[in-house]
Structure 1
Amino acid sequence: MKFKWLLAALLGLLVAACAPNAALMSETGPRYTAEQSGPEDYKLGSGDKVRLTVFNEATLSGEFSVSSTGALSFPLIGDVAANNRTIQEITQETQKRLADGYLRDPKVNIEVVTYRPFFILGEVKSPGQYPYSTSMTVLNAIATAQGFSPRAERKVAYIRRAGAAQEESFRLTPDLRVSPGDTIRIGERYF
């Protein structure tokens, strides 16, 4: 009788150790709400592509990518630091630098054309790098990667924000959002 009780207790501990830690799993927060912030709050990073339009200056306008060093290289003014800065901040600096000896009262508009990709790995059928689209959810990302593998844990997603050192665990709901540059990992279920 004691042996059965001991075996049951050990099996219970083993199952609890294999399950995701519910105490560390987020179920609320900004990742679970529709994006409240607009493109003006978005911070650029390597891999983003922007369109620069300088009014009445077609030769200065065009599409530019944020380099691996976090800079945008524009005609005449050269490199502008873009990493972790908003479009508005970059627009103001670009206007100021163009007005400093190049153009009289320049009118500049910058918009994001392509966001940096997200990455998905683990128990999905086709892990890899995929293009980000606005208002994307983790379930959309999983569908983009051709769905769950047969061994996938379907209740938890692990997300590491671009530039972060550690991933966080989140309860997988239809409202869980992806950000550009995120790395999503779908774990394996054990039973």
Structure 2
Amino acid sequence: MSIFRTCLTFVMAVAMTSCAGANASMQPLASAAPGPYQLGPGDQIRINVFGLDALNNTYLVGDTGEISLPMIGTVTASGKTITRFETDVADSIRAKQLVLEPKVSAQILAYRPFFILGEVQRPGQYPYVPGMSVMTAVSVAGGYTFRANTKKVMVTRSSAKGSAGPDSSVQPGDLIQVQESWF
């Protein structure tokens, strides 16, 4: 009878381990306060240059992280703050000798989207809004389903992957996965 109990205990331990899933040991995502926003592919930017009406337009950061501007060429935007991007555009205008002291202003019109899937009412792609948390992202997606794990979700970010709670911040481009709760 003791061999039966030993085998049964072993089978139960294996079954419980497999139910925990691959993400059971996932580390929490760093909850440091986000720094200044950095541009990336998919962001929509409005650029105004005083005295150069040909450049005044709305541009989309391409998948290479660059924006192609008339009379200047390509300017890298990805990984830069909006202030740094304005400076780079002004430097490019100065280098081409189009204007001696260019006055450049840029503003983000639309942020790149975030994605949410799993146990939410309407999984999909949604526009990012500054200051979003996991809870607001779930709300945008119609709320949790009845079997969702409401305490912890998995977030995949360009630089990291980990677990996050309802109050964790969401960044543009994040993939949020709401998992099923077993109890």
What TM bracket, shorter-length normalisation?
0.7 to 0.9
Gaps of 5+ in 2: none
**Paired position in structure 1 for 2:90:** 95
Cα RMSD of the aligned pairs, angstroms, is: 2.5
Instruction: Return closer, same or farther for 1:27/1:109 CA change in 2, 3 Å cut-off.
Output: closer
Aligned partner of 1:107: which letter?
A: K
Shift of 1:4: 6.3
Matches within 5 A, 1:72-87: 72-87=67-82
Count of residue pairs brought into register by the alignment: 180
Give the alignment's TM-score, normalised by structure 1: 0.80
Matches within 5 A, 1:84-123: 84-99=79-94, 100-123=96-119
Aligned partner of 2:73: which letter?
A: G
Instruction: Return closer, same or farther for 1:71/1:77 CA change in 2, 3 Å cut-off.
Output: same
State the distance in 2 between where 1:27 and 1:155 align: 14
C-alpha contact 1:157 1:184 (8 A) present in aligned 2: yes
**Paired position in structure 2 for 1:48:** 43
> Aligned pair 1:149/2:142, yes or no?
no
Instruction: Return closer, same or farther for 1:122/1:72 CA change in 2, 3 Å cut-off.
Output: same
Gaps of 5+ in 1: none
Structure 2 residue corresponding to 1:172, chosen from 160, 165, 168? 165
State the distance in 2 between where 1:27 and 1:66 align: 27
State the distance in 2 between where 1:141 and 1:12 align: 36
Shift of 1:61: 1.5
Aligned partner of 1:178: which letter?
A: V
Matches within 5 A, 1:12-23: 14-15=15-16, 17-19=18-20, 23=25
**Paired position in structure 1 for 2:156:** 160
**Paired position in structure 1 for 2:65:** 70
